[in-house]
Amino acid sequence: MRNYILYSILEIGLVVIGILLALYINDWNEEKKDRREEYELLVGIKNNLVNDVQVLEGFIERAQELQGFADSLLKVMSNPDEYTNEEFFYYFNPLQDNLYFTTNSGYFDEAISTGKVGFIKNDSIREKLFDYYRVTKRNYNDEETRFHYRDKFAPDVLFELITTKEIAGILGYTANFPSLDVKKLVASKPFNSALLQKVFSFRPQLSSWRYYLSKAEELLAEIEEELNH
C-alpha cells in the first residue's frame, strides 16, 4: 500500500513536472518568436532611418549650395548694371530646385497598423520613434516652402521671366520676346517679394533638416546597440 502511494505521488510529480516543462518550453518559444519579430522590425526601421539620413545629408548639402546661388543673385539684383543677363540666369536657375523632405516610415507605419510596435521592448527606442515620426511627418517648414512655391514664386517670379528672349532660348523655341531687363525686375514688388521669400526659405528648411538628422542618427545608434545586444 505504501509503495502504491509513493508510486502515485511520483507519477503525479512527473505529470506536474511535464506540464511545467511544457509551459516553460511554450513560453520560451513565444519569447523567441517575439524577439525575432522585434529584431526584424528594428532592422526594417533601421533601413528606413538610414535612407532618411542619406536624403537629409543630400538635402543639406544641396541647400547650402543653393544658399550660395541665392546670395549671389541678391548681389545681382542690388547692382544690375554690373552683371549680365547670363549671370542673372546662372544664379537664378538653380533656385527653381524644390527640396521637400518626406520621411521613409514604411516599417513604422506597418508596425502601428498591425500592432507589432508592441514588440519593441526598449521603451527609449519606442518613445523616440514616435517622437521622430511625429515631427518629420508634420514637417511644417517644408510645407510652408511648398505652399510658397506654388502660390507665390511660380506665378509672380516665373511670370516675369517666361516672356523673355533668354527663357525662350533655354526652352528651345523662337519668339520675338524682349531681353531680360533686370532693372525692371528690381522695380517689381511682387517679383522681389516672392524671390526673397524663396531665398530666405532655405534657412528654416536647413534648420529643420539638421534637427531631423540629429534625431535620426541618435535613433540609429540606439537601434544598432539594441540589435547587437
Residue 64: the pLDDT is: 93
pLDDT digit string (tens) for the chain, length 229 residues: 656 666 666 666 666 666 656 566 655 555 666 688 899 999 999 999 999 999 999 999 999 999 999 899 889 988 988 998 889 889 988 888 888 999 999 999 999 999 999 989 999 999 999 999 999 998 877 777 776 666 666 676 777 777 777 776 766 677 677 787 888 887 888 878 877 887 888 888 999 999 999 999 999 999 999 998 7
Tell me the domain boundaries of the chain. 37-227
DSSP string covering the chain, please?
Answer: -HHHHHHHHHHHHHHHHHHHHHHHHHHHHHHHHHHHHHHHHHHHHHHHHHHHHHHHHHHHHHHHHHHHHHHHHHHHHH-GGGS-HHHHHHHHGGGG---------HHHHHHHHHTGGGG---HHHHHHHHHHHHHHHH-HHHHHHHHHIIIIIIIIIHHHHTTSHHHHHHHT----PPPP-HHHHHT-HHHHHHHHHHHHHHHHHHHHHHHHHHHHHHHHHHHHHHHT-
pTM of the model: 0.79
